[in-house]
């Protein structure tokens, strides 16, 4: 009697799980960043120039009646610079996605057994890491060169940094969604700057809202960036903290909506 050997049919390889794909793709993006640190250095120059100019030009605002007493202008300004830098980095996340679409990287990803959503998540996480490096460098400059010494100390600075990163991460999903649909770097930058500049200057970022003209006060009071800046400033200056939960909830909502639209736009044929 001969024994019959049965072999199971080969199973089709379906690729790695979502988390592993995100991890590998994030590491790939970070390796690209480490190999070319000029990307971080030059991206720090713009907010550093803004910090230098605004801290010197508007320093006298600290002597006006509506300015918080006992607070130097650099201590007032730096939390806003953190939030604004995170917002600008969020725009660059969208521009980077368009660049990857145009240089053929994403076309190669489409030929692999990976979920396209993992590409977007990896992009957002790698840009979050780059933003964190930018903000830490900015803080080092502010402390060593400009004398940034807020009342909240290291704990307050760390909390303001974390809040700025959360706001920037939520906004990055908005810009990723816009990039996935526009697929044009020049148009992406134009749309981004048109959205950013009103948010930055019609807010409490550089001067107290009470010092703005009446119509700008109305805009600033409903500007979500005002509430994010005020929350970061309260954390750094050890003031009564309000708006942190609202800023985090808003960032999470933007991330959820941006994720949905980004994935839909990203799945369209290149």
Note the pLDDT tens digit of each residue in 242-259. 888 888 998 899 999 999
**207 domain-assigned:** yes
Note the pLDDT tens digit of each residue in 102-126. 877 777 777 777 787 888 888 889 8
**36 domain-assigned:** no
Domain count across the chain: 1
Q: CA-CA distance, 148 to 145, in Å (whole number)?
A: 8
**39 domain-assigned:** no
Phi, psi of 103 (to 5 degrees): -90, 5
Phi, psi of 17 (to 5 degrees): -75, 170
User: What's the mean per-residue pLDDT of the chain?
Assistant: 84
Per-residue pLDDT, 1: 46
Look up the domain containing 258 and give its range.
20-27+45-55+71-267
**227 domain-assigned:** yes
Question: Above 90 in pLDDT, residue 235?
Answer: yes
Per-residue pLDDT, 27: 87
Per-residue pLDDT, 53: 86
**2 domain-assigned:** no
**241 domain-assigned:** yes
Q: CA-CA distance, 184 to 161, in Å (whole number)?
A: 31
**198 domain-assigned:** yes
CB 210 within 8 A of CB 220: no
């Amino acid at each position: 009697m001969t024994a019959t050997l049965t072999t199971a049919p080969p199973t089709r390889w379906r690729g790695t799980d979502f988390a592993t794909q995100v991890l590998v793709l994030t590491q790939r993006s970070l390796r690209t960043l480490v190999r070319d640190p000029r990307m971080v250095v030059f991206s720090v120059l713009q907010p550093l120039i803004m910090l230098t100019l605004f801290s010197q030009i508007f320093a006298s605002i600290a002597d006006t009646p509506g300015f918080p007493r006992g607070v130097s202008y650099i201590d007032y300004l730096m939390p806003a610079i953190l939030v604004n830098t995170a917002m600008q980095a969020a725009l660059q996340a969208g521009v980077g996605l368009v660049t990857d679409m145009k240089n053929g990287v994403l076309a190669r990803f489409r030929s692999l057994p990976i979920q396209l959503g993992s590409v977007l998540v990896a992009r957002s996480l790698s840009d979050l890491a780059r933003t964190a490096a930018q903000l830490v460098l900015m803080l080092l400059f502010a402390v060593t060169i400009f004398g940034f010494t807020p009342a909240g100390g290291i704990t307050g600075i760390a909390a303001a940094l974390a809040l700025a990163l959360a706001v920037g991460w939520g906004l990055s999903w908005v810009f990723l969604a816009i990039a996935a649909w526009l697929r044009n770097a020049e148009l992406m930058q134009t749309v981004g700057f048109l959205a950013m500049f009103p948010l930055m200057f019609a807010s409490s970022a550089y001067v107290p809202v009470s010092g703005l003209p009446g119509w700008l006060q109305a805009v600033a009071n409903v500007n979500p960036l005002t509430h994010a800046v005020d929350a970061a400033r309260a954390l750094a200056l050890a003031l009564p903290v309000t708006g942190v939960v609202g800023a985090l909830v808003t960032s999470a909502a933007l991330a959820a909506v941006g994720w949905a639209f980004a994935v839909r736009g990203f799945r369209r044929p290149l």
